[in-house]
Structure 1
């Protein structure tokens, strides 16, 4: 077919897509130079206002996006999106950008012929590959997997100037039945539900969920306009300012300028630190915000709306539902959930949305996983190449990993297929994944390079555990050993608290022994529940990050476990190394608590920190002084140093209501005003009363 005829055909297809209110997915295979020339001719033929471009050779009038701009794409729109895959295929960015294409717009993928493309390296996934793999040479499995999925989708496929496959056009979309400013009746219902949060009972939050393009962010802006007209003061927060842009845009367009100050955007980490109040807090893209932050905001604000994408590259909406909404059940029994299903930007049968959902495994399994403790369980191991013929199992694993972490993204799916040093161990029953663990094979770093890492002269990608052992813990020799780092562990939410995670970790330990892995490690955002889980499985803390995550206020902890193989005579020495690192960590944490970790929860401090061993025992005379304090016969100031030493000796045996304030006071050295606020005491005497009540019981047998 002549180029002019093909361009005319594309123009007609675009007009038809506009009439049907869909986006037009076009996959164009051929030689790079020819396709770029053809695309330039197409852009001269078709009218457009905004052109987005991914990859090299973007025209002067295009907005050229890079992989760091995913969240900047949220809420923005374009008429044409061109993906030049010849210079690399960034899966995360491709998935993110698809939602920007408007109805009647074109999604154009320029690529080599599939047979050649899947044999090529993918430099756009450089950040997913560990040392020493070279992204310009490494041939991963993601492209092969993705192209297999792509060829099953409803789209236009063009080879050079030949149309290889036509699109199956959907039926005409039904017109929307709503009056302005609403687009759909569902959106109007959502706005009414938001308004009710303000007028109804306190502590009845609303959770508004939808896939992308359903108008949930616009609903926030429309509702804010109506509330501002009532002189309500509103705050809105989101993972980034760009994620709240749609809501803010609708508000600024609908509300008069005199009311624009009634809605303010505040980053959520700032909301954690200040005392701002509002008649209503709006949280957009809540699934991409850590659950501890959402819980804190729920405590701070009595009227709040959480809006979130059900699933997609932004985060894991399904995980948000299962984890955070369980918390809502406990804290706010009258909370309400509302789902918007009807698309606004395009019709329900939009072929591009189906393509993205299917190719990137974004469809979540809503069926509850069945499990019988009496039936046989299989432990299976998968690596990158194994997924090519196990798409269904990969779908299950990726979905489950998404539930386990609030920011699982498409790049994590790509890493499973492209990184040969990642492995997944699954626990399965009747071909259903009950639990899984994601493992990164690390270490085996040459001694000279490990020494350079120790000196801070080099860093290597994809070896977090090995690098931390060499640099932070001054153990470069350990970085040269074979290590496994457990990146994530996930158990189906309905099957948790039944010991499946522990069984899975035991299986991993057995595999590690068989493969002569010397140490197992893990790193995660520190919480009391997770810490106890890993400690129960014989992992010991060896390092705590020096700065907390701005969003969640969680510190990252590194834990280690010695893997003792029967044939390894150095097993006892290896165990001693872990214990030594753990002791050193506990003492160092104790010494640096007030300077580096003033915000660390006292319960966690008591689980991790260890006072120096040279604290002398209290004499009988000192114990008597303490007893006199308990009888109100000695002032606190006189016995304070005695009480500090007594606490360092007996903190493990104290009840939490006593241990926590003593820890905050003596180990973290917080001020008295902060102590009173943190633990809800009205004055110092109330604290002393608590001390006397508990301490008198604990030392009575000693006097």
Structure 2
């Protein structure tokens, strides 16, 4: 049909979408030059205030986004979003940006004909491919998977100047009845629930959940404005300032200028270090904040609201609930959960939202798989080429990875399909995935390149373990060996603590031996529970990052295990590196890791072996201190040496403050605050009580 007729049809469809309060998804296939020309004509035909553009050749009036701006997209809006897939398809950015399109807006995907497109390389995913793969000529499986998913969606399909399939229009939505400034009855209920957190009993937090576009953040802003009018002082934190933008915008619109200082944004890491107080703490996009951080905030603030996206491109909302809900049950039995389901930006049957959810596997399975320990289980391995014929299994695996890790994103789904060096090992029963482990094949780096990495002259993508062994641990020869790095391990939340994770790691070790892999490694945000799990499975710590991760507020630890036939030599090497790590950590605790949890410091650090044992006279001095016959200042150096020799047999309530004092060298005022002592004499009483019982045992 003539271009003018097609453009008139699209304009009519946009108007119809506005009337139905939906977004119009259009998938336009053809040749790049022609489609860009047609798109320019379309933009001259339809009316819009803001145009977002993903990919190359954006017009002058467009906001051109790149892959580093996902969080900046949260809460922003546009009338038209164009994705020029000829220059690559960034799945993470496409999923993130879809929520920006207003009702009545157009989501326009420009691409080659599907049969050709799915056979192309995807340079937009170059960050997902390891050395030596080149994204400009690597044909992965993600585009084939995407095309299969797109064909099944309710969208408008165009091919050059022909309409292949029109949209199946949803029925008009029933209007909501709500009192301004709220737009839905559920949003109004959410505002009332937030206000009750302040007026009701202490220690009864609210968890507010919703899919994107439901007005969750707006509800926080509306409630904050009403509380500010009562002269309440509020704080808000979120993964980034941009993520809190919607809350702050609504607050500033509704609150009088004299009350604008009553709501203050503070990054969560800064909030943990501060002594600020508030009548209410708001935590937006809580699913993207690590559970340990949320637990600390819950201890600090007696009135708190956690709000989080259940779906959206992060895919982490339900994982937040499952991880955090048990802790809330223990600490705050009166906590309340409220879910907002009524959409605000568009109606419930919006076709673009359905397209994004379906194409990127964001629909979480609400059925928890059952596990019978007495019945047969299967251990299966999947690689990138296997997923196209196992879409249901891919859905299960990606859903489980999203539950288990707060930073799982759409790019992780794309990596599973595009990166041939990734594999997933599952435990399954009755075709249901109970647990899985994600493995990256690394190493086999040419010795010359490994030496350049050791010197700090080169870095290679996708070889975190090999690169760290060469550079941080000065073991370039290990980077030339075959390595497996365990990137993630995930067990269904309801099936944890039943040994499934250990079963997985045992199977992985067996497979590694059969395939002549020399070492297994892993790197993760350090916590005591995780450290113990990996240590129980034979992994030894080799390196601790020198700064805590901004997202997790945890130090990253690297652990290694020897698995091959020459395991004696390999194991001895790992043990030697582990011993050296323990000594180095002991020497640098006070300078580099003053905030490291003392329990973790005790698990990882090792005092130097040349510390002399105590003499009989020194032990007698220590005994006299326990009978309050010697001042602490006189026996302090003796107590330090005694602690370094026997720290591993001491009870935690004694070992932790001694570690903080002698290994991490924190000040006495900080020690008293950290462990809840009123004065120094209370600490000395604790020391005397326990040391007197232990002297005879340790001599």
TM-score normalised by structure 1 residue count: 0.99
Q: Which residue of 2 aligns with 1:596?
A: 592
Residues 96 and 304 of structure 1: is their aligned pair in 2 closer, same or farther, counting only changes over 3 Å? Answer: same
* Offset at residue 553 of structure 1 (A): 2.8
2:659 pairs with 1:663: yes
Q: Distance in 1 between matches of 2:51 and 2:522?
A: 43
After the TM superposition, list the runs of 4 or more consecutive aligned residues in structure 1 that deviate by more than 3 angstroms: 700-703
The answer to whether the Cα contact below 8 Å between 1:369 and 1:432 also exists between their aligned partners in 2 is yes
> Which residue does 2:75 correspond to in 1?
75
Q: What is the alpha-carbon distance in structure 2 between the residues aligned to residue 701 and residue 276 of structure 1?
A: 45
Residues 291-310 of structure 1: CA distance to partner in whole angstroms, max 9, x if unpaired?
Answer: 11111111111111011100
Gaps of 5+ in 2: none
SS at match of 1:584: helix
Q: Which residue of 2 aligns with 1:187?
A: 187
Distance of 2:103 and 2:17 partners within structure 1: 7
What corresponds to 1:332 in structure 2? 332
Please give the alpha-carbon distance, in whole angstroms, between the structure 2 residues aligned to 1:268 and 1:117.
Answer: 43
Distance in 2, matches of 1:30 and 1:559, equals 50
Could you tell me how far 1:79 is from its partner in structure 2?
0.5
Aligned-residue offset at 1:269: 1.4
Residue 610 of structure 1 pairs with residue 606 of structure 2: yes
- Counterpart CA distance in 2 for 1:20 and 1:413 is 32
Q: Which deviates the most, 293-302 or 417-426?
A: 293-302
Q: In structure 2, the residue corresponding to 1:260 is in which secondary structure?
A: helix
Structure 1 unaligned spans of 5+ = none
1:487-502 matches, within 5 Å, as 487-502=487-502
In the other structure, the counterpart of 1:238 is 238
2:314–2:410 contact (8 Å) kept in structure 1: no
Match status 1:20 vs 2:9: no
Residues 552-601 of structure 1: CA deviation (Å, up to 9, x unaligned): 43100000000023xxxx32111110000000000000000000000001
Structure 1 residues 702, 663: CA separation in 2 closer, same or farther (over 3 Å shift)? closer
Hey, what does 1:201 align to over in structure 2?
Answer: 201
Of 676-685 and 428-437, the range deviating more from structure 2: 676-685
Query: Match of 2:646, SS?
Result: helix
Given candidates 634, 639, 644, the residue that maps to 2:640 is 644
Check if 1:104 corresponds to 2:104.
yes
- Matching residue of 1:271: 271
The 3-state SS of whatever aligns with 1:534 is: helix
Q: Between 433-442 and 398-407, report the one with greater CA deviation.
A: 398-407
Distance 1:686 1:547, change over 3 A: same
> What is the distance in 1 between the residues matched to 2:672 and 2:264?
32
| 1:62 to 2:27 alignment | no
Query: 1:316–1:408: 8 Å Cα contact kept in structure 2?
Result: yes
Look up the match of 1:575.
571
1:590–1:609: 8 Å Cα contact kept in structure 2? yes
Name 2:222's counterpart in structure 1: 222
- Within 5 Å, give how 1:447-466 maps onto structure 2: 447-466=447-466
Q: More displaced, 245-254 or 478-487?
A: 245-254
Partners of 1:293 and 1:28 in 2: how far apart?
A: 45
Q: Distance in 2 between matches of 1:179 and 1:308?
A: 24
Partner SS state of residue 68, structure 1: coil
C-alpha displacement at 1:175, in angstroms? 1.0
Is the CA contact 1:207–1:305 (under 8 Å) kept in the aligned structure 2?
yes
> Conserved in 2, the CA contact under 8 Å of 1:312 and 1:409?
no
Separation (CA, whole Å) in 1 of partners of 2:28 and 2:507: 46
1:366-399 deviation line (CA, Å, top 9, x unaligned): 1011110111100000000100010000000000
What per-residue deviation string (whole Å, max 9, x for no partner) do you get for residues 87-142 of structure 1? 00000000000000000000000000011111110000000000000010100000
Matched, 1:683 2:679: yes
Residue 551 of structure 1 deviates from its aligned partner by: 4.5
Q: What is aligned with 1:632? A: 628
Counterpart CA distance in 2 for 1:677 and 1:71 is: 36
Residue 24 of structure 1 contacts residue 351 of structure 1 at CA under 8 Å; is this kept in 2?
yes
Map 1:506-521 onto structure 2 (within 5 A).
506-521=506-521
Distance 1:359 1:553 in 2: 32
Q: Counterpart of 1:357?
A: 357
| Conservation of the 8 A alpha-carbon contact between 1:283 and 1:304 | yes
Q: How does 1:142-221 map to 2 (within 5 A)?
A: 142-221=142-221
Distance, in Å, in 1 between the alignment partners of 2:54 and 2:330 is: 45
Structure 2 partner of 1:252: 252
Matched, 1:483 2:492: no
Counterparts of 2:532 and 2:697, CA distance in 1? 31
Tell me how far 1:166 sits from its aligned partner: 1.2
Tell me the SS of whatever aligns to 2:68.
helix
The corresponding residue for 1:140 is 140
Normalising by the residue count of structure 2, what TM-score does the alignment of the two structures yield? 0.99
CA distance in structure 1 between the aligned counterparts of 2:459 and 2:242, rounded to whole angstroms: 32
Q: Does 1:122 align with 2:122?
A: yes
TM-fit CA distance, 1:702: 7.0
CA contact (8 A) 2:315 2:362 kept: no
Question: What do the CA deviations read for 1:327-372 (whole angstroms, capped 9, x no partner)?
Answer: 1111111000000001010000000000000000000001011110
Aligned counterparts of 2:175 and 2:434: Cα–Cα separation in 1: 43
- Which position in structure 2 is the counterpart of 1:523? 523
Check whether the contact 2:6–2:161 (CA below 8 A) recurs between aligned residues: yes
Residue 304 (structure 1) aligned with residue 304 (structure 2): yes
**Distance in 2 (alpha carbons) for counterparts of 1:98 and 1:177:** 27
**2:72–2:243 contact (8 Å) kept in structure 1:** yes
Worse-superposed segment, 628-637 or 84-93: 628-637
Alpha-carbon distance in structure 1 between the residues aligned to 2:64 and 2:228: 37
Q: Is the 8 A contact 2:207 2:338 kept in 1?
A: yes
Contact kept, 8 Å, 1:287 with 1:315, in 2: the verdict is no
Correspondences of 1:414-433 after superposition (within 5 Å): 414-433=414-433
Give 1:315 shift: 4.9
Report what 2:445 is aligned to: 445
